[in-house]
Chains A and B, each alone.
Chain A
Amino acid sequence: MLRIALRGLWSRKLRTSLTAFAVVLGISMVAGTYVLTDTINKSFNTLMASARADTSAVVSGKSLVKNGATSDQPTVPASLLARVSSLPGAASAYGVVETESARMIDAKGDPVGPAGPPALGFGRDPASIGRDGAFKIIDGRWAKGPGEVAIDVASAKKAHVSIGDTIRVEGSGPLQSFRIVGLLQWGSSNSLGGATMAVFDLPTAQRLFGLGGRLSEIDVIAKDGVSPARLVAQIKPLLPPNAKALTVDEQIKEDQSQWSSFAKIIRYALLTFAGIALFVGAFVIFNTLSITVAQRTREMATLRTIGASRRQILGGVLTEGLTIGALASVIGIGVGILLAAGLSALMGAIGIDVPRTATVYAPRTFVISIVTGVVVTLLASLGPALRATRVPPIAAVREGAVLARRRSSRLRQIASGLLLATSLAVLGVGLFGSFDQSSQRLLTIAAGCALFFIAVALLSAYFARPLARIVGAPGSTFGGTAGKLARENAMRVPARTASTAAALMIGLALVTFVSVLAQGFVRSIGVAIRKQASADYIVMANDGYSTYSNAVAGRLARVPGVEKAVALRTDTVIAFGKQISITGFDPKTASSVYKFDWQEGSNASLAKLGGDGAIVTDSFAHKHGLGIGSPLPVQMPDGRKLRLRVIAVNKQPELIELLGEVTVSEKAFDAVYRNPKTTLLTYLRTTGGESEAVAARLRSALAVFPSVQVLTEKKAIDTQSSGMNTLLAMFYVLLGLSVVVSVFGIVNTLALAVFERTRELGMLRAIGMTRRQARRMIRHESITISLIGAATGIPVGIFLAAMVTTALSRYDIVFSLPVSSLVAFTLATVVAGMLAAILPARRASRLNVLEALQYE
């Protein structure tokens, strides 16, 4: 039986490889994701370990806030350095200042390096630098004293500068100029994922980054014979409460864990899309195998008459599935490795060079890829295999290849209906139920969606015929006889047409879903922002979400024409054991731009903000039972405790909340957050509203803050939306993969249909159909199938988006249809149908009429 299955596959090589291709794409993405992330991980880990080559122990500040959600980076007092270096076990110790916001600006005023990766800035003692593996000077010397900097070779090349030239750097304040005295590189790598590096001496860096009297970390080198653990034990008694000392190995592990948690997010995101492509691929395999089983009815029946049992028939078809799965996985892994190489080349091309020591091929990558590929294919072939077992032996002596009718069409109807109901219930629970962890919620929603897609695919067999009649109408009207026949052909086996279209339906539903949801978000963002504040101009970082220098608002307030400049500071604080957002503003001017919706208190309460007053949002107050006068203890990222007191409760929308759960006065905020770069937004009110003259003056005032932009309120809202558009474009590309898979499904179905109708096509050609008409007939059938996919997928996507919008109703997400996008999707579907038809149409038109008529 095994041999029969394998021989069968081999004798249908083209068909087998087309079928296998349905899984190849998904598996290649799985394999590619693992190879890429493993490789980058390994490279970063190696770099991070080598950077601390000579260090024995590291002293650094502790932050209670996770995920880098604070600009208040952990530091230790500089005074600790002298005490640590005089320890008996320490040979030497040096202080380090390190930040991720040292953007270099070239002569033309443009930022150096790509926007995504960090702009690293360091403060290092010239005497100690170069001892560890981190930095190597390539040309020139280390920076000594104010006004000097050493920068990385790649950045110097990008900015067209060399030793002796001037480069400007934006630290925590306005731009400052430095003379380049050296060119350096990090370890042996000339790239750190596109990050730029500027190294100053310690005092210069402390001043530039607003870290006076503080150090990011102290690196300690032990005396000979002193173990890192012993050194750490000696250091520990000296430490202030918010500092920690780790042996070098522990520290490296911590450095790496930060990166690897980021890599994990990327990995899971990519794997999600791979999963979708595999799900669609399963549909294609199911469909193709169903058709080939139907076409081989007589073969199966003959096997039964000569003694094959049902189990053996089942095994035969499953063996085919298994083989296709294994084959597809192996090819997929190969393609995935190429994909990973291509992706990292692409990243290099846009400036995010990935440091690569050597590509990592972990055994896990191969195991997961093969197991996934085989399991997906096997599951998909289970249905066709079971149907093959129901072929009665008597079919061996019957004319034609009519497969036994399904046991009960009514039973199937009921089962499909039940599945639909179940899927909706699961979706409902996922969307509206309560979960401890959001990952559980996401998994439930994903499972609900998958079931829903299957249910719709099953049910679509019942409305494929009327749908084909509708979407095939234009072709039938304008395509002549070929168009009419195409429509009839598409309606011939509705179940087959429906399940071919179902694969496309899934991709289209998801594309529609994200598109509708994104449109809703974009609309809602504007509404939410306008609801909360109004101003003539809004000042924000170029990327729209970074915080910037607190000096900006003061500078803008002095620009002629500006009446009020209200800055919103933001950071993270811990209250009731959770990380929440805290805002600081000037209570005297805040109400001139911010529209409070007081639940308790009034604008008059603002005056009571003072040093320990806090305004809380209504949802926060409700959750923790707070009211005016309630004490509100909070903890700073570095562990300091503050006792705040609620003076008012304000209601605000839950989407794009401009204020955090807790709002304090600017003075109180600045007293506890040391970083001078905590401003998120500055609202400007000008005399006479927007005017080009004021805008020009504002821009020139901001020339020394190149990372900050001034926008009209409308522009600011559009900027928020454009971020959404970038995300949307990425989703489209990744979901496009599933659409490609489903297009292969259409190719398969049509190719098999052409094979099946050989005699009929021969007859049509014999009675006068031209090659051109034959091609057109196949093409129209393909477009009809695609349009059925669109006609089911787009409503399904809209429905899912409506469900999610309802679930997010407390965020005031509006439901809004992106009509032009939906039209574009439909047109793209038609194009996809045309592409899918190329190969089968060519086959049909090249048919030898004589042979076709003799074909048995």
Chain B
Amino acid sequence: MSIDVSKKLATGSVTRDGVAVHATDLCRCYGEGDTAVNALCDVSIDVPTGHLTAVMGPSGSGKSTLMHILAGLDKPTSGSVEIDGTEITTLDDTALTKLRRKHVGFIFQFFNLLPMLTARENIVLPLEIAGVKVDPDWFDEVVGKVHISKRLTHRPAQLSGGQQQRVAVARALISRPTVLFADEPTGNLDSKTGGEILELLHDSVETLGQTIVMVTHDARVATIADRVLFLGDGAIVKELPETTPEEIQKAIQEIGRR
């Protein structure tokens, strides 16, 4: 693992203090005046490099909003977000696109693969879009890690849900992003394949030093996350470092009761 981290340091995508995403005083309001709703209120968070940070919370707790803002998909009403030391809340569309190419990867609940492209084409798509050459060794390593090498010529429709999500993980890893955002990656999978995907994400943190922020409902995340944040009513209400599924269940019930 130490070798992999040094490799990442060498590419310059890890900031010195080991924080991939640095967010301070995030607020997000929807609507105006009396009907205004605070989806997020004064949230500050540091996402450490090489760790898997899980964000949990009941529906409407603001966990998705938080992730969207951290990933630059949405803008906060106030507050700031830095990815790899760059303030992203003030970037225009073009700069944000460039930042995404280099620093951000995504995994979605519904996989979001392009149906007309093969698995291989889907995986290398981010590089192709950015006009970057594919590093064959890295490609083989990623594809080997997600166990999809035998299915590279298949279209998404010919793959199972788990296989599609593996392709999506490979697509997110291929550009070695500073941070990978996963939005309910197991939400559309049965529990066995869901567990496999969680293993895969854990493995990419362990062996590749990948930084991941994951929004999830899945309590099993406890076994792989370095840290679990709990959101309720737009604020961080609890933080568990090393934890167990039982503790998570308890925390969720606690928040639900409040």
Contact = CB atoms under 8 A, between A and B. Distances in A.
A308 B97 contact: yes
A10 B116 contact: yes
A397 B68 contact: yes
B171 A8 contact: no
Contacts of A7: 114, 116-117
Interface string A1-20: 10110011011000000000
A305 B183 CA distance: 13
A303 interface: yes
Interface in A304-323: 304-310, 312
Interface stretch (A204-212, A388-396, A501-509, A572-580): A388-396
A731 to B, nearest CB: 44
B106 A305 contact: yes
A371 to B, nearest CB: 29
Interface residues of B, number: 31
Contact of A307 (B108, B112, B130): B130
B94 interface: yes
A302 interface: yes
Among B104, B105, B121, B129, find the residue whose CB has the most chain A CB atoms closer than 10 A: B129
A72 B203 CA distance: 100
Contact of B129 (A1, A11, A393): A1
Nearest to B72: A393
A392 B106 CA distance: 15
Nearest to A394: B73
Interface in A284-316: 298-299, 302-310, 312
A306 B108 contact: no
Nearest to B102: A307
Contacts of B183: 397
Nearest to B174: A306
A307 B114 contact: no
B129 A308 contact: yes
B97 A306 contact: no
A856 interface: yes
Interface residues of A, number: 25
Interface string B125-145: 110111000000000000000
Contact of B112 (A4, A392, A394, A396): A396
A230 B109 CA distance: 91
B115 interface: yes
Nearest to A1: B129
Interface in B95-110: 97-98, 100-101, 104-106, 108-110
Interface in B69-108: 72-74, 93-94, 97-98, 100-101, 104-106, 108
A306 B64 contact: no
B104 to A, nearest CB: 8
B115 A11 contact: yes
B93 A312 contact: no
Nearest to A397: B183
Given A310-B93, A310-B97, A397-B64, 10 more contacts: A7-B116, A8-B114, A11-B116, A298-B112, A303-B129, A306-B171, A307-B129, A309-B93, A397-B73, A397-B109
The 8 closest A-B pairs by CB, nearest first: A307-B101, A11-B116, A7-B116, A394-B73, A302-B112, A306-B126, A309-B97, A305-B106
Interface of A: 1, 3-4, 7-8, 10-11, 298-299, 302-310, 312, 392-394, 396-397, 856
Interface of B: 64, 68, 72-74, 93-94, 97-98, 100-101, 104-106, 108-110, 112, 114-117, 121, 125-126, 128-130, 171, 175, 183
